Amino acid sequence: MTTAAIIGGGVIGGGWAARFLLNGWDVRVFDPDPEAERKIGEVLDNARRSLPGLSDVPLPPEGKLSFHTDMAEAVQGAAWIQESVPERLDLKLKVYKGLQEACDPGAVIGSSTSGFKPSELQEGALRPEQIVVTHPFNPVYLLPLIELVPTDKNSPEMVERAKEMLSSVGFFPLHVKKEIDAHIADRFLEAVWREALWLVKDGIATTEEIDEAIRMGFGIRWAQMGLFETYRVAGGEAGMRHFMAQFGPALKWPWTKLMDVPEFTDELVDMIADQSDAQSGRYSIRELERIRDNNLVGMMRALKHQDWGAGAVLNQHDKRIKAGAMPSHIDEIEDLSQPILTLSRAVPLDWTDYNGHMTESKYLEAFANSTDRFMELIGCDADYIANGGSYFTAETHIRHLDETHAGARIEVRTQMLLGQGKKLHLFHSMYEGDKLLATGESFLLHVSLETRRPCAPSAEIEAAMAKIAQAQAKLPYPEGAGSSIRKPA
């Protein structure tokens, strides 16, 4: 099991711990705060509810979490060490001195710093080549971006290894090839923040109005296309060159005060704090975090369907973890005598309805995914379908037996009731642990995609179904199979 050491267990450190832990790493946390275990536990509660729902395949088994009062003990044997202590350069340099005396020389030491350059962090270090900036974005367990900033003291091999480890837990490592204060993303944020302070100070907009301007407009565009691609589209058929010609002169107009910062007086701080309280004070921080997570998961899952932006990163992560998680053919299944595991995943936040449990259509989607998985296992995979054969569902019956909530780890196990000729009859059972949540029964016909009519499947599929039929011959006919909606008494 690979181990990560987290030095500093605040909001960012807790997010790092959750990201590693839920992707199967053992995590050791060092933080002198006596409340660190409670705080990280609360972050983990949110992460366990939201992060697994981004994946359509099962994440690796959760790693082991431990808390340590001795930093040297925490970093011993760790392959990755993430420093997330407060933004004081003297403190960070002191931390590096202590941990480098105890850690593996081959470990990657990443800093969550928002502003310091890696050369500043490497100054006076025992092994400067170990230290890089790996700046995340909150919540670390959901957002994929990591700004990876090395110096010429870091070997190309070390940088590539860092990229691979970050990618292995679902991050998008953006390699910043030239160090600069505040890296890339925070420089944009700082520019928007400065302008927002002036708009509030000058009485032009409240904190709520500024937030509405972002989330109702360009924030949505930026979330899926960034800045330059958005403006390229804004240029119409003529593209970016037309956009630059049309709006370039505006750069000389006095629209912004980007380099002119308002004095940070107590009056300005009170004004902004009071407006923020009026805007959001009815929610606790934990409630705001859950609202934020709900929105992020919904947007990022929508992007998955388009294989775009952050969604493309999630799809690549699913492919990476699926490869070792589930078999691709029945010949890889050790025991066919029991119902076959065809789905293992967490219930995403966007699968729940106004009653707080999984909506009806998502039960059907889960069972449809299980049917697709069974088809793949018997040889009716993407290549087979591309060559003109597939199964069409003729009839489905679902029984809802218990509630299913967001974050629940569900499994579907499938019994083949009939698999012969063009007919395929499946019975799916959905569980959370040992609790039976629902059943789904499906009758399918093999069809030719050319004629759109039923026909016999390939000999390979016939053989696979015969093998399953023989193995499952002694299974009892499942309760509820063949039933229909009862007439009222």
pLDDT digits (tens, 9 = 90+) for 15-26: 999 999 999 999
pLDDT, position 489: 67
CATH number at 346 reads: 3.10.129.10
Please report the DSSP string for 378-431 in residue order: TT--HHHHHTTEEEEEEEEEEEE-S---TT-EEEEEEEEEEEETTEEEEEEEEE
- How many other C-beta atoms lie within 10 A of the C-beta of residue 202? 10
Q: What is the three-class DSSP state of 59?
A: coil
Same domain, 77 and 224: no
Same domain, 22 and 157: yes
Same domain, 360 and 461: yes
Same domain, 73 and 158: yes
The answer to whether residue 486 is domain-embedded is: no
* Helix residue ranges, H only, 76-227: 89-100, 118-122, 156-168, 185-201, 207-213, 219-225
Residue 78: which of 128, 136, 28 has the closest Cα?
28
Q: Is 9 annotated as a binding residue?
A: yes
Q: Is 12 annotated as a binding residue?
A: yes
Same domain, 233 and 166: no
Q: Residue 207 in contact with residue 279, Cβ under 8 Å?
A: yes
Please name the residues in contact with 392: beta carbons below 8 A apart, sequence gap of 6 or more: 444, 445, 447
What's the angle, vertex CA 220, arms to CA 215 and CA 221, rounded to 5?
Answer: 135
Same domain, 420 and 446: yes
Which of residues 157, 175, 193 is at a domain's end?
175
Same domain, 125 and 169: yes
The answer to whether residue 301 is domain-embedded is: no
pLDDT, position 335: 93
Domain range for 371 is 327-471
pLDDT, position 485: 80
Q: Is 75 annotated as a binding residue?
A: no
Which of residues 143, 175, 207 is at a domain's end?
175
Same domain, 65 and 159: yes
Same domain, 110 and 197: no
Please name the residues in contact with 246: beta carbons below 8 A apart, sequence gap of 6 or more: 235
pLDDT, position 223: 87
On the question of a cis peptide bond just before residue 139, with omega within 30 degrees of 0, the verdict is: yes
Same domain, 82 and 205: no
Same domain, 79 and 163: yes
pLDDT, position 227: 85
pLDDT, position 259: 78
Residues of the chain with pLDDT under 70: 324, 489
Q: Is 248 annotated as a binding residue?
A: no
CATH number at 241 reads: 1.10.1040.10
The answer to whether residue 477 is domain-embedded is: no
Number of domains in the chain: 3
Q: Which amino acid is at 398?
A: I
The answer to whether residue 203 is domain-embedded is: yes
Q: What is the three-class DSSP state of 148?
A: strand
The answer to whether residue 368 is domain-embedded is: yes
The answer to whether residue 482 is domain-embedded is: no
According to DSSP, residue 478 is labeled P
Which of residues 175, 207, 225 is at a domain's end?
175
